[in-house]
């Protein structure tokens, strides 16, 4: 496993930062589900671990070792992240491979940006 930086993505047009205009009720519900999925330390670490693998995807067999929880608990956390749209998965033979969904992370990041400079990552 090697560490890599995630690319800086342009903010999707769908997500205006909260400081510019209030969220609609539907947007707030959808975004709250994503933030709720990330509010657990194990899930946040899982997302980071998956993103740090070469190629941006990791086999489920590589995701259980770094945690002091059972395999069924890891599976539950992966299911929560998948249902929130933060990761995708693909079965290959016996194993399932997980990858981060960049658009989902870009949407969350753009929502929290305070201006155009923050959204592009420029300083």
Percentage of residues in the chain with pLDDT exceeding 90? 44
Domains of the chain: 25-112 (1.10.10.10)
Is the whole model's pTM more than 0.85, yes or no?
no
Local structure of residue 115 (DSSP, 8 states): S
Mean pLDDT of 36-53: 93
What integer is the mean pLDDT of 31-35? Answer: 88
Residue range 41-64: average pLDDT?
91
DSSP E strand stretches across 2-105? 57-59, 87-92, 95-100
Mean pLDDT of 19-46: 87
Higher pLDDT, 1 or 109: 109
Burial of 91 (0-12, 13-18, 19+ CB in 10 A): exposed
How far, in Å, CA of 123 to CA of 117, rounded?
7
Residue scoring higher pLDDT (76 or 10): 76
């Amino acid at each position: 496993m090697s560490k890599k930086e995630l690319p800086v993505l342009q903010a999707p047009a769908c997500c205006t930062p909260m400081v510019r205009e209030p969220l609609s009720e539907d947007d707030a519900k959808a975004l709250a589900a994503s933030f709720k999925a990330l509010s657990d330390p194990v899930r946040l670490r899982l997302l980071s671990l998956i993103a740090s693998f070469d190629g941006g995807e990791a086999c489920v067999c590589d995701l259980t070792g770094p945690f002091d929880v059972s395999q069924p608990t890891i599976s539950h956390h992966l299911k929560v992240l998948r249902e929130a749209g933060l990761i995708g998965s693909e079965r290959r033979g016996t194993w399932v491979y997980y990858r981060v969904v960049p658009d989902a992370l870009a949407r969350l990041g753009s929502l929290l940006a305070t201006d155009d400079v923050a959204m592009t990552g420029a300083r």
